[in-house]
């Protein structure tokens, strides 16, 4: 296409010209630190979540380290209006995540407040989740959880403010007896996920698992 000639797609890490459907070149792809977690075994996220709420299974696609490629990828998705990055991350996830014969019943995303959604124009988790839903044949619900207050991004908060998640979320409908996979972009303290998880657990005889695009180590 003409646009590709004048505005070629470039690797977001090294700036080399790459195919239009790629995020990074082959060389930079090798520098992405995938976690190699398995969904059913103990891992770093599971140990952290267990301190905050009862969790079944956990998975993270990448490590979110300072100045690494995965951090740049997540920032492109969240702050550079590149919603389609979510689909690429989902494709990388489906290549690595095996639910075996114990698929979750429902995929649920961490919601944005309506004000933040209007500012950004999209929830960075939706396309990611919808792509997973189509691949694994698991339904999703973007409306199950409501964010009650507009708040600063977790990454911009100091440690004390990150703990202020009480009553931030509420559940919008009755749900019981479900194994719910809660999806977020980056695992930091786990407090946001914990706040949502307890709403789901209080709602009925539910179980909660966690999937994140990256874990901040």
Same domain for 106 and 63, yes or no, is yes
**pLDDT: which is higher, 182 or 12:** 182
Same domain for 199 and 173, yes or no, is yes
The mean pLDDT value for 59-82 works out to: 92
Same domain for 18 and 94, yes or no, is no
Under the banding of pLDDT at 50, 70 and 90, the label for residue 5 is low
Same domain for 104 and 181, yes or no, is yes
Same domain for 19 and 81, yes or no, is no
Q: What is the CATH number of the domain that holds 58?
A: 3.40.50
Under the banding of pLDDT at 50, 70 and 90, the label for residue 2 is very low
1: tokens are 């296409």
Same domain for 13 and 41, yes or no, is no
Give the number of domains in the chain: 2
**169 SS3 class:** strand
Same domain for 25 and 70, yes or no, is no
Note the pLDDT tens digit of each residue in 152-200.
Answer: 555 444 555 544 556 789 999 999 999 999 999 999 999 999 999 999 9
Same domain for 95 and 121, yes or no, is yes
Read off the DSSP letter of residue 10: B
Is pTM, for the whole model, over 0.95? no
CB 196 within 8 A of CB 180: no
Under the banding of pLDDT at 50, 70 and 90, the label for residue 150 is confident
CB 103 within 8 A of CB 147: no
Note the pLDDT tens digit of each residue in 94-149.
Answer: 999 999 989 999 999 999 999 999 999 999 999 999 999 999 999 999 999 999 98
- Region label for 172, one of left (φ > 0), alpha (ψ between -120 and 50) or beta (otherwise): alpha
**Segments forming the whole domain that contains residue 3:** 1-31
Q: Is the pLDDT of residue 91 over 70?
A: yes
Same domain for 49 and 70, yes or no, is yes
Under the banding of pLDDT at 50, 70 and 90, the label for residue 27 is very high
Residue 153: per-residue pLDDT: 55
Same domain for 43 and 22, yes or no, is no
Residue 162: per-residue pLDDT: 46
Same domain for 123 and 40, yes or no, is yes
Residue 151: per-residue pLDDT: 67
Residue 24: per-residue pLDDT: 94
Read off the DSSP letter of residue 201: H
Q: Is the pLDDT of residue 3 over 50?
A: no
Mean pLDDT, the chain, integer: 90
Same domain for 17 and 95, yes or no, is no
Q: Which among 36, 8, 14, 34 is positioned nearest to 26, based on CA atoms?
A: 14
């Amino acid at each position: 296409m003409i646009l590709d000639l004048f505005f070629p797609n470039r690797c977001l890490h090294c700036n080399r010209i790459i195919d239009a459907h790629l995020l990074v070149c082959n060389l930079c792809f090798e520098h992405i630190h995938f976690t190699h977690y398995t969904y059913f075994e103990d891992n770093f996220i599971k140990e952290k979540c267990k301190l905050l709420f009862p969790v079944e299974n956990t998975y993270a696609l990448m490590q979110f380290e300072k100045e690494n490629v995965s951090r740049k990828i997540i920032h492109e998705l969240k702050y550079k209006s590149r919603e389609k990055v979510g689909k690429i991350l989902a494709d990388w996830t489906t290549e690595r995540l095996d639910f075996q014969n114990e698929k979750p019943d429902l995929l649920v995303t961490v919601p944005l407040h309506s004000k933040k959604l209007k500012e950004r124009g999209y929830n960075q988790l939706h396309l990611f989740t919808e792509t997973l839903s189509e691949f694994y044949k698991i339904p999703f619900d973007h409306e199950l959880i409501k964010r009650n207050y507009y708040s600063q991004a977790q990454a911009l908060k100091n440690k004390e403010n990150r703990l202020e998640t009480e009553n931030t979320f509420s559940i919008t409908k009755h749900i019981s007896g479900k194994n719910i996979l809660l999806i977020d972009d980056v695992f930091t303290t786990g407090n946001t996920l914990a706040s949502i998880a307890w709403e789901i657990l209080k709602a009925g005889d539910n179980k909660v698992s966690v999937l994140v695009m990256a874990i901040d180590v």
